Structure 1
Amino acid sequence: LIQRIEANAANPDAGRSGLGLLTLMSDYGARLAWIFSSADENDRICLETYASIPISQTHN
């Protein structure tokens, strides 16, 4: 995570941080999953990203 932050800070042309998923994993313990679709007629592949974050329940 720190290496990614440093690399982005050193690159003035970086348009996006790319840290969203890394932050979810690092700060919130998120588990990630991906689903890839079959290629369409233009050889495009759809990618779906899922994040699972543990949530503790509090009882009153």
Structure 2
Amino acid sequence: MAGFAAIKWAREVPTLLHNLGWTDPQIAAHCRMTTYTTGRIRERLKLRPNDPTETKENR
């Protein structure tokens, strides 16, 4: 059961932070992952990278 919780965490936390507008480097630092791993998770979830100069209003 602990393995399932880790998989769920690896999917949900980066998605939540991404939806809040965090960039890959910010998510990686917060989750203690590499930016490569963060990018792979984001791509697997079919999310586009957040641009630090973009706001939610001009997307």
Identify whether the pair has TM-score above 0.5, normalized to the shorter chain.
no
Determine which structure has the larger helix proportion and give its number.
2
The interval holding the TM-score normalised by the smaller chain is under 0.3
What is the TM-score normalised by the length of structure 1? 0.28
| Higher Cα radius of gyration | 1
Determine which structure has the larger strand proportion and give its number.
1
Report which structure shows greater RCO (CA 8 Å, sep ≥6).
2
What is the TM-score normalised by the length of structure 2? 0.28
